[in-house]
A = this chain, B = another copy of it.
Amino acid sequence: MCRWIAYRGDTVPLEQYVTAPAHSLVVQSVRALESTASTNGDGFGLGWYGSHAEPGLYREVRPAWSDENLKHLCRHIRSPMFFAHVRAATSTPTNRPNCHPFVHGKWMFMHNGQVGDWSLIRRRVEELIPDEFYKSRIGTTDSEAMFLAILGANADADPIAATMRTLTTLTELVSTSGTTEPLRFTAALADGQNLYAFRYAANDAANTLYYRTSEGNLLLVSEPLDKDRESWIPVPPNHMVLAEVGKPLEIVPIDLAVRIAAE
């Protein structure tokens, strides 16, 4: 289990949420409270939108808590939409391409969870990635493969439908693979304008996800950044968060069949 935060709102320095709060993401890298893996020291990453359509990316294999560069970058980089992620590796090596977030063109993605027994269904998930996106597969995680599968399911046309289609396929792959390990997918996806987050699981409880809104700014977190628990609202299991340009924030159920049928 990893820990992450996603922000969409007024332009702020990343430090405001990544390093400054009492229980900031960097503090969580040492000691998370709502995670089976209390230490999230297997690398980390920052992704942010700025003056380019394509997001910036900083990923490093060292633990977030001891990285001097991270402090400098969080202080100096300002963004209206960014992701930050600290990793607790499951079965894949600790190297930069396996750190979150992942980017491709304007798209950015990060994930907390797992896809059943990865060694059992890895090939099947890789097969979901069309050739044009497979070229961008530079790591070996389930998370990166799911991201590229979602893009391959035509996220450009409809990111929600693409994610639902991919989750439907993944749920089937896991259930028919013979594993008893769950599919857990607490993830965030963004295109620079819109931000989507998902709290989904099959065969298990979904990994935690909270949000907080303040003056139109949205913050999504694996666990609250401070003890003001009332300000942090849990996203219900099997729900998703839609923060789209020109629309009010929506928290809606993930109903795989309905969404896909609606296309």
> B56 near A94 (CB under 8 angstroms)?
no
Of all chain B residues, the one with the shortest Cβ separation from A13 is B51
Encode A43-77 as 1/0 by CB contact (under 8 A) with B: 00000101110001111111101101100110111
Encode A136-152 as 1/0 by CB contact (under 8 A) with B: 01111000000000000
> A96 near B119 (CB under 8 angstroms)?
no
A118 to B224, CA, bound (A): 35
| Most chain B Cβ neighbours within 10 Å, of A48, A59, A60, A96 | A96
Interface size class of A (residues with CB under 8 A): 35 or more
Encode A95-138 as 1/0 by CB contact (under 8 A) with B: 11100000000000000000000010011001000010011011
A48 to B122, CA, bound (A): 30
How many copies, total? 4
Q: Shortest Cβ distance from A81 into chain B, in angstroms?
A: 13
> A57 near B41 (CB under 8 angstroms)?
no
Judge whether A89 is part of the interface by a CB distance below 8 angstroms: yes
Q: Besides A41-B65, A69-B96, 20 other CB < 8 A contacts?
A: A39-B39, A41-B66, A50-B76, A51-B78, A56-B72, A56-B75, A58-B69, A62-B62, A66-B89, A66-B94, A68-B96, A76-B77, A77-B77, A93-B96, A95-B95, A122-B134, A123-B131, A137-B140, A139-B140, A140-B140
Judge whether A92 is part of the interface by a CB distance below 8 angstroms: yes
Q: Shortest Cβ distance from A51 into chain B, in angstroms?
A: 7
> B75 near A52 (CB under 8 angstroms)?
yes
